[in-house]
Structure formats: C-alpha cells, structure tokens
Structure 1
Amino acid sequence: MSAIAHHIPDAMMAAYASGNLPHPFAMVVATHVSLCVDCRAALGAHQTVGGVLLEQSDHVATSAGLKSDLMALLDEPVRPDPVYDRQGVYPGPVMEALKGKPPRWKKLGMGVKQCLLSEVDGGSTRLLYIPAGQAVPDHSHNGLELTLVLQGSFSDETGRFGIGDVEIADEDLEHTPIADAGEACICLAATDAPLRFNAFMPRLLQRFFRI
C-alpha cells in the first residue's frame, strides 16, 4: 500500500476525539484511523489534551441518588459488544457496521454498486464499488461528503486518492470521480445531505438509491 497522502483535518479529529462528530463521519474517521499511523497518533494527542482539560474543569454537583443508581447498574450483567477484525479490504469499523457479514451490494448501473450501512438524522454511510475506468456521475454537494478508499484508487478534479486516503468535499466542489485502472475501487462514503447530480437520470433515480 502506498503512503497515505490525504488525512483527517485537525478540527474534525478534535470533534471525533470529543465524541461530537456525527455518526456517518465518525465511522469514516474511525476507519481511516485504523489504517493511518499519523492520524492514530493525532487522535491520541487530542484524547490526551481532552483528559487534561477534563481534570482541570470545575467540579459539578451530582444528584443525591447518583451513587445508588450507578451501583445498581454495576450489579447488572454485562454483555460486551462483539469485536470485529479486518476481513479482506474491510477494516474493523466497517465489519462492525456489516455485523461481520459480507456487503450486500445493490446495483446502481454501469457496474457501480452500493451497500448502505447506516442512515442517521439525514446523514448516511455506504460502501461504493466502482469498476476500473468507470465514473461516478458529475455532482456537487448540499453538505459535506467524506470518501475513504479501501481498495484501488480514484481521481477527480482535485487529485488522486489511493488506499487510506480521504477526500473531503463540500458545497464548493463539483467533481466527477473516476476509478483508476487496475482493481475496482471500493470506498466508504459518508454524507450529511443528499448529493446534487447535474444529469437528469441520476437525479431521477436518486431517491430510489437514497444517495
């Protein structure tokens, strides 16, 4: 795997470390961190700073029944969440969203497929499979879109993105991502608003594909 060139911005990493990043984007960040040594170190630094700030913050009074409520919770049996390891090109956070099963692909046309992982408060997270040489229809954005490459690579007006790279697109970017030659490109994509397609047919099918 070539060196990762496109990383998570510092402000977004801080929001993730503090638990304030929306779920669709948090899944992309968690997956990227599992692949990127540099961003793993950056996350650790943000968590350390957050811990120091928490220790220095003023104490807040709690209710009289908090201790008894907490002890009651500790008495309840604990069923730990399963831990998912990487399988093939899918890192642990993606396998967790898939509940340990292979993706269930849905055809979008021209060989492109998607597997919807989550829809939360207007945002969504999905896997995209794009055959080599195939383009995603020209589009812009109503919000933010994060795209993390898990296999292959793609190129658009902003550059080339390989395995582990994250493209961050906002309302100002209009682009036509094209999968590069070689392996099919598999991406993890998250949005907080529907895309804006320029061509009539993608707009017509958009609500059926929930993009």
Structure 2
Amino acid sequence: MLRARVVLLVAAIGLCAGMLVRGVAWQQPPAISPPTGSAASDAGNRGRPRVPSRHRERPATPEVIYVALATDTDTYLVPIADRTAARSPQDALTRLITFRSEREGIASPIPPGTRLRSVRIDEDGTAVADFSREIQDNFNGGARFEQVMVYSIVNTLAQFPQVKRVRILVEGQPVESLGGHIDASVPLEPDRSMVLTSGWGGRE
C-alpha cells in the first residue's frame, strides 16, 4: 500500500514538473533571426542620412555664354545665362555665334556670317573648334576686341569639365591669328581676367 502511494506521488510530481516546463516555454517569445542581405543593410542604415550614388549625380555643364560688353572705356566679356548652351559644346558655340541682345553695348563678338563647321574634344582635353572663313574675313576690330572674340570662344567651351584648352581652326586649317594680334596657332587655356562679373547690370 505504501509503495503504491509513493508511485502515485512520484507520478504527480512528474506531471506538475512537465506542466511547469511547458508553461515557461509557452511564455518565452520566439527567437528572431538577425537580418541578412538587403534587410541587414536597410537596418544598419536606418536613421542615417541618405547619400546619393555617384552615378546619379549630374555632370557639371555650362549654362552661360561669354559675349562682348562695350563701355565708354573698354570692352569686356560678360556671362549671359543660356540653358541651351548646356546641351553640348556645339550648341554652346552656336548660341554664341547667333546671340542677339536689345541691350546697348552687348553683342556677340563673333563676326556676322560666321558658321561653326565642327567641334570635337580630343582625349587630352583639347577642344578643337572649326569656323568658316568669315570669322577672319569679316573681322574689323582692334587688338582688344580680337582678344575678347578669341576668349569668348575659349571661355565658353572651357566650362565643360572635359575641356582644358581650345584650339581654333578656320576652314579646317590652323591659323596664326584671327585678326592679326592674338596668337591662335596654339591651344589656348581659359582667361577670365577680362570677364566682368558685376557692375554691368546683371545677366540677361
């Protein structure tokens, strides 16, 4: 009889212990696996400012052309905002040649009748701009205006990040100069010493 009671007591204790273990297991939250792959990346970057990818950045392009401004004392280059100029070097020079303004004293320094034959950019960063013969034949200015004309071309093209210097051709051939004063036989780097950026009334 005593033995039967002991057996029942042991069984009861075992039953209670099993129920206790099952209750503890039921109360524990399920294990969560650490995020992997893109989820891990998103979790790690949460709260941090987003930095745009380099390939999404727009390349720097020009939105101005440099034209002539004649004052009572001198002639300067001034920047004129022009979104068309940002499309390509050829568009920029075409806008420079065809530029017209109603403001007195502001005009394209390129002689009338001049045509842009072609523009190319060599691997070393030299832009080669080829003009029709009218750029020489129809030029009637002095040394200062020739300087303004030459560097209106050079500075306008040099805004493109791939352009480091500019070589000017006429009818596909190299020339000593366009008007007899400025050496155009070698590639020219931009010169902004004659650019007037303030005090002339702003950009058009």
- TM-score normalised by the chain length of structure 1: 0.24
Q: Which has the higher strand share?
A: 1
**Structure ID, larger Rg:** 2
